[in-house]
């Protein structure tokens, strides 16, 4: 057996309001659900990106749902799929919004990547699907 895809990805943030504005206003993701000051769920293509307040998830979430405690220490990473032209557009958009580009390069297989940080220090990347031989 093998999973057919990734349904959701989670990042842990230090300020849920600042992070939610960044992902909605700068990256243009649509909010599906906001769970108070603990989490925000965004639609991203066929999947979901979840932002969790890092401090609030150290214990088992309240509310009766049997979700185990989880989290991460240090910066996380997520890579968004983009074409080479879209990566160029994202670079201009990010710079116009005061977001520093941390790295931009072509991998040995020719795929392009662009890296920057979200307000919580998570490493965010845009890369061509060819990076992993995907279409």
- pLDDT in 10s for each residue of the chain, 135 residues: 998 889 999 999 999 999 999 999 999 999 999 988 889 999 999 999 999 998 877 665 566 677 777 788 889 999 999 999 999 999 999 999 999 999 999 999 999 999 999 999 999 999 999 999 987
pLDDT of residue 56: 79
Distance, CA of 113 to CA of 79 (rounded, Å): 9
> For the chain, what are the domain ranges?
1-60, 75-135
Among 105, 37, 108, 39, which Cα is nearest to 71's? 39
CATH top-level class for 75-135? alpha beta
In the structure encoding, which two tokens stand for residue 73, read together? 């220490």
Other CB atoms within a 10 A radius of the CB of residue 130 amount to 15
Bridge partners, 123 (sequence order) = 77, 117
Task: Collect contacts of 25-29 with beta carbons under 8 A, ≥24 apart.
Answer: 26/93, 26/94, 26/97, 26/99, 27/80
pLDDT of residue 68: 76
CATH of domain 1-60: 3.10.180.10
């Amino acid at each position: 057996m093998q999973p057919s895809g990734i349904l959701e990805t989670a990042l842990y943030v230090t300020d849920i309001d600042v992070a939610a504005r960044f992902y909605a206003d700068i990256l243009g993701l649509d909010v599906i659900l906001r769970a108070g000051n603990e989490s925000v769920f965004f639609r991203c293509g066929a999947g979901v990106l979840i932002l969790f307040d890092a401090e609030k998830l150290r214990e088992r979430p309240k509310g009766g749902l049997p979700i185990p405690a989880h989290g991460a220490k240090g910066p996380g990473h997520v890579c968004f799929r983009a074409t080479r032209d879209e990566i160029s557009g994202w670079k201009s958009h990010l710079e116009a919004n005061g977001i520093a580009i941390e790295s931009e390069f072509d991998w040995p297989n020719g795929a392009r990547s662009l890296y920057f940080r979200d307000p919580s220090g998570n490493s965010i990347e845009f890369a061509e699907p060819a990076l992993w031989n995907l279409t």
